[in-house]
Amino acid sequence: MITKTYQLETLTCPNCVAKIEGMLKKTKGISTGEVLFNTSRVKATFDESILSSEDIVSKIEKLGFDVLSEK
């Protein structure tokens, strides 16, 4: 398992948080996922043998959010 943090464009509402967290919970391979509204960050712990960090970025971007960086 690996944990990554993704910096997003500014999140503007709680619905944005709910949308991303819902996706994280439904994605196979992600054990924990959290969206930090005040800093516009997504923190995810996932199994690299099931999905990659690029897969997570792609899923976030498909929801309409820009990922600015990852750590």
- Per-residue tens of pLDDT for the chain, all 71 residues: 999 999 999 888 889 999 999 999 999 999 999 999 999 999 999 999 999 999 999 999 999 999 999 99
The pLDDT value recorded for residue 12 is: 87
- Alpha-carbon span 35 to 37, nearest angstrom: 6
- Alpha-carbon span 61 to 24, nearest angstrom: 13
Supply the range of the domain harboring residue 42: 2-70
Question: Into how many domains does the chain fold?
Answer: 1
- Alpha-carbon span 51 to 33, nearest angstrom: 14
- Alpha-carbon span 51 to 57, nearest angstrom: 11
pTM over 0.85: yes
- CATH code assigned at 28: 3.30.70.100
The pLDDT value recorded for residue 33 is: 95
Q: Six-digit token pair at 65?
A: 């959010």
The pLDDT value recorded for residue 39 is: 94
The pLDDT value recorded for residue 62 is: 96
